[in-house]
Structure 1
Amino acid sequence: MASSSDPSNPVRERKKKGAPIKFLVPLIYAPALPLIRLSLRHKPVLRDRLFGLVLAGAFAHGFYLVYPLLLPP
């Protein structure tokens, strides 16, 4: 086994610290859904359309995460 101080080894790539952004996106739209329902109570047409758009975006994002081979990176 080669040690990490072996000069014959090529330069290793540094690993990224932290979670990728694509896994943190639900932290934005998950709280937005109840806030849309509560804040737009008196405008039902706008509320339902905005809620549907955010929900469709959430499902699209989930599809992107579950099927990474079908979509380009």
Structure 2
Amino acid sequence: MDMMSGDGSVPAPTHPASEFLAYEAECRSALKPLLTRLLDTAESAGWNRRTVASTLMFLAAQQVSAAETSARG
């Protein structure tokens, strides 16, 4: 399976969401190279890698929360 075409795109899942373990593992594999590249880029720009990772977790949680809020309202 080709995880990335090199252009930063994310491949579509091949497992249905109902197959949670396989689906989640596939998602991790698809996103890991993008995350690694983002962390490397931020670190090269002078940011502390741990701070960048923490900020990404915060922003991801914020996105999920915003999506849940808009779905309810």
Under TM normalisation by the shorter chain, which class is it?
A: 0.3 to 0.5
TM-score w.r.t. the length of structure 2 is 0.36
The structure showing larger relative contact order (alpha-carbon pairs under 8 Å, at least 6 residues apart) is 1
Q: Name whichever structure is richer in helix by fraction.
A: 2
